[in-house]
Structure formats: structure tokens, C-alpha cells
Structure 1
Amino acid sequence: MSTRLETLPHRHVLTLAAIPSAVRTARQTAEQALVQWGINPRHPTVDPALLILSELVTNSVRHAAALSPQVTVIYAAGADCLAFAVHDRHPYQPTLYATVTDTGTGGLATVMELTLGLGGTAVVRGDADGKGKSIWITLPL
């Protein structure tokens, strides 16, 4: 995928309390944004993308809420690309690509299997102060 995230014409940012209902709200917001942006909800990338998003928000709520009372979701899209990030203020940065070969069935392994299966990319970007991170997922449309 050669699309640079800065060039994607559609963007939306949502900040939520790091509580279980954030997962549903983040997913519903994504569904609404995609429709507004003209992305067919039946596109084969949409359902897996929503599952990936749900897993990442769930991880922030479960594992980061003690240090990060809020989670922020950034949604972006263009004609051939869908991208989103889940940000929290917990310093732990998971190793994404190692999870594909792990024997566990954790959420990050599912995220990576779906992302790579769709031809997408995943990256963890730490905050400049080292006290938080964003996990960015980019998927082709």
C-alpha cells in the first residue's frame, strides 16, 4: 500500500472513557463514518476491520485503563485505503508481528492474522514522552 496516511481525505477522531461500552461506541462510530465516506458496508474489508477495531479498543479498556482513563480512536479513509488507530496513555508497547506465531489465542494474534490476511499493515507508534502509544492498522479497500 503506497497511500500515505496524511493524504487520506476522510478523518474522524473519537475520545471515549476507557470503559467496556467504549468498544461498542467505537465500532458504531466506525460504521457511521464509513457510510458517510461512501464505503459500502458490504465491502469484504469492512467486517474484519470492525473486528480488528473492537479487539484493539477492548485491549485498551482491559489493559491500559488503570493508567489511561481515556482511549482515542482515529479513523481515516481514502479511495483505496482504510486506516485507524487506537491510542491510550499506557507505556507498554506490544510486539505485534511476534503474536502471529504465538500459540495463544489472544486478541492481538487475531488482529494480526486478520490484518495480514487482508494485505494490511500494523504498527505501534509510541508517544514522544514514552507514556502512551497508538496502534495503527492500514487496510486496502
Structure 2
Amino acid sequence: MTSTQLEALPYRHVLTLPNEPSAVRIARETAEQALVEWGIGLRHATVDPALLILTELVTNSVRHAAVLSPQVTVIYAAGSDCLALAVHDRHPYQPSLYGTVTDTGTGGLATVMEFVLGLGGTAVVRADADGRGKSIWITLPL
């Protein structure tokens, strides 16, 4: 999804939090509130996997990026047929989304990708312009 396509989504919310364990719960609760406000029922088939994906991505930022990134930003967006989520931090490491489960901890991202691909969604890692951070963007059909 390009930034132009994201801008076309009528619903958007941005949340920036301290990059600490409480961010995981707050990001998930905020997502649930936003989805309800946007008329996307929490029982929709995409919602539980989307919340799990979000939880995993924010958890990864807290565990692996907090040393260089004191904040984590979550972007939520939706339209009539699409849900988009992004998690941004200021750590330069860009994980491979298509790696295998190994001892290095890519198991969580492998699970994320199973859900994303199983739902017919997309995932991409985008580096910040200065190379000192990245965003992981997930789009899922509704």
C-alpha cells in the first residue's frame, strides 16, 4: 500500500507511546477502540489476527528497539475493505519478514507473516529516510 493509498483510507489514528512493556496493552486497547468507532466489529474475522499481529510487532519493538528508540508509534487506518497497521521505531535494524523460525527470534515474525499471508494481506518494512529507524506496514482485507 502506498502512502497515497493510505491517505485515501477514511479512518486514521496515530498513537505514540514510551517504548516499554505497557505500550503493548495500550496499543491493542487503542486498536480495539478505534475499530469499534469505525464500525468494524470486534467479531469480524480479520480483527483477532490483526490484534495478534499488532501485539507481536509492538512487543518486538519493546524487546529489541527500546535501547535506541525511546518511543514507538502505531498507525491505524481503515476503509470499507482494508485495515492497515504500522509500527514505527527508531532502531535501524530491519528484520526480514520472510525469514524462517530460528534461534535468533524470527519465530514471532514468521507467525505474523503466516497470518498476513493467510488473510491475503501484505507486509513490508520501510526504512526511515535517514536510515535510523523503520516502520513495519501490514495491510489486511476486510
Normalised-by-shorter TM-score class: over 0.9
Q: Number of aligned pairs?
A: 138
Alignment of 1:53-68 (within 5 A): 53-68=54-69
Give the match for residue 70 of structure 1: 71
Tell me if structure 1 keeps the 8 A contact 2:101–2:110: no
CA offsets 1:99-134 (integer angstroms, 9 cap, x no match)? 2xx143721011100000000000001000000000
- Provide the alpha-carbon RMSD of the alignment: 1.6
Q: Give the secondary-structure state (helix, strand or coil) at the position aligned to 1:90.
A: coil
Distance apart, 1:68 and its partner CA:
0.1
Q: Given the two structures, how large is their TM-score scaled by the length of structure 1? A: 0.94
Give the match for residue 87 of structure 1: 88
Q: Which segment drifts farther, 6-15 or 103-112?
A: 103-112
* Structure 1, gaps ≥5 residues long: none
Give the match for residue 136 of structure 1: 137
The percent of aligned pairs where both chains have the same amino acid is 81
Separation of aligned partners in 1, 2:70 and 2:107 = 23
Give the match for residue 37 of structure 1: 38
* Structure 2, gaps ≥5 residues long: none
Give the match for residue 114 of structure 1: 115
Give the match for residue 96 of structure 1: 97
Q: Give the secondary-structure state (helix, strand or coil) at the position aligned to 1:131.
A: coil
Separation of aligned partners in 2, 1:61 and 1:8 = 28
CA offsets 1:17-42 (integer angstroms, 9 cap, x no match)? 01101000000000000000000110
Q: Give the secondary-structure state (helix, strand or coil) at the position aligned to 1:15.
A: strand
Distance apart, 1:48 and its partner CA:
0.3
Separation of aligned partners in 2, 1:138 and 1:89 = 21
Separation of aligned partners in 2, 1:115 and 1:55 = 12
- Residue identity in the other structure for 2:75: I
Q: Given the two structures, how large is their TM-score scaled by the length of structure 2? A: 0.93
